[in-house]
Amino acid sequence: MKLEEGERLIAVHTCTDEQDVLLATPNGKCIRFEVPDVRVFAGRTSTGVRGIRLADGDEVMSMSIIDHVDATPDERAAYLKYARAKRGSDDASMADEPEEETTGTGDLSPERAQTLEAAEQFILTVSDRGFGKRTSAYEYRLTGRGGQGIQNMEVNERNGRIVATFPVREGDGIMLVSDGGQVIRTTVGDIRIAGRRTQGVTVFRVAADEHVVSVARLSEDAGEDEDGNGSEEASLDGEAPETPQ
């Protein structure tokens, strides 16, 4: 890929027209759009097209490929309400931003709810202060490529900046590494499911001057991710995110 001055390549993934792209930034922004929104270029060294419009001082931190699910805003809102009730959660923040138009008529049949549940994916987000959460991919609404995106996780003094955003499965493990040389390994199932705009819970307790710099996904399938590699990794230390180990 041809890069302009000051740019760097951060991720390369295979994909199909039946999938979506999820881009995330350290300052808490993200955008989801369909793979066909990125046109096929004739030349391998083309500069490409804009995925997300960045604010000053922000950058793309990670790119993930997630499955596309045809569901209306009403269906997604109704399913998220159904899922909260099923999990016994009272987290009212687990809903899309109010500017997305809904008609309020998104009642789901049991069959449709089961279909959406079977196709549901979860996005893990971790901050450099060691806070993290899982969020249903249905909360990351589909938009057009090139916009400013939506909020991914609250970025503030408590949380710090975002260091990792990628899809995970219930049986996965994750490993976090800090710039103080500390490492912790935990399971995805121990991390709370929460709304996209929430702060998350403590995953890695770091010292006041310490930060999480790398997060790796350890798949339930004998340590291999979906692409047959050892893990997915994201970092803020200048290394490419989601690098195979």
Local confidence band at 90 (pLDDT 50, 70, 90 cut-offs): low
Residue 222 has pLDDT above 60, yes or no: no
Residue 204 inside a domain? The answer is: yes
Residue 190 inside a domain? The answer is: yes
pLDDT per position as a tens digit, 97-150: 444 555 655 678 999 999 999 999 999 999 999 999 999 999 999 999 999 999
Residue 196 inside a domain? The answer is: yes
Distances (CA, A) of 214 to 38, 103, 125, 143, 183: 28, 41, 12, 28, 10
Residue 166 inside a domain? The answer is: yes
**Rounded to an integer, what distance in angstroms lies between the CA atom of residue 106 and that of residue 104?**
6
DSSP state of 241: T
Residue 93 has pLDDT above 60, yes or no: no
Residue 94 inside a domain? The answer is: no
Residue 245 inside a domain? The answer is: no
CB 216 within 8 A of CB 231: yes
Q: Angle of helix 110-119 relative to helix 73-87, nearest 10 degrees?
A: 90
Local confidence band at 178 (pLDDT 50, 70, 90 cut-offs): very high
What is the SS3 assignment for 75? Answer: helix
Report the domain count for the chain: 1
Domain range holding 227? 19-69+120-235
pLDDT per position as a tens digit, 31-61: 999 999 998 887 788 888 899 999 999 999 9
- The predicted model scores a pTM of 0.83
Residue 243 inside a domain? The answer is: no
With a CB cutoff of 8 Å and minimum separation 6, the contacts of 106 are 72, 73, 74, 75, 76, 77, 78
CATH of the domain at 190: 2.120.10.90
DSSP state of 235: E
- What DSSP letter does each residue of 134-147 carry, written as one string? EEEGGGS----TTS
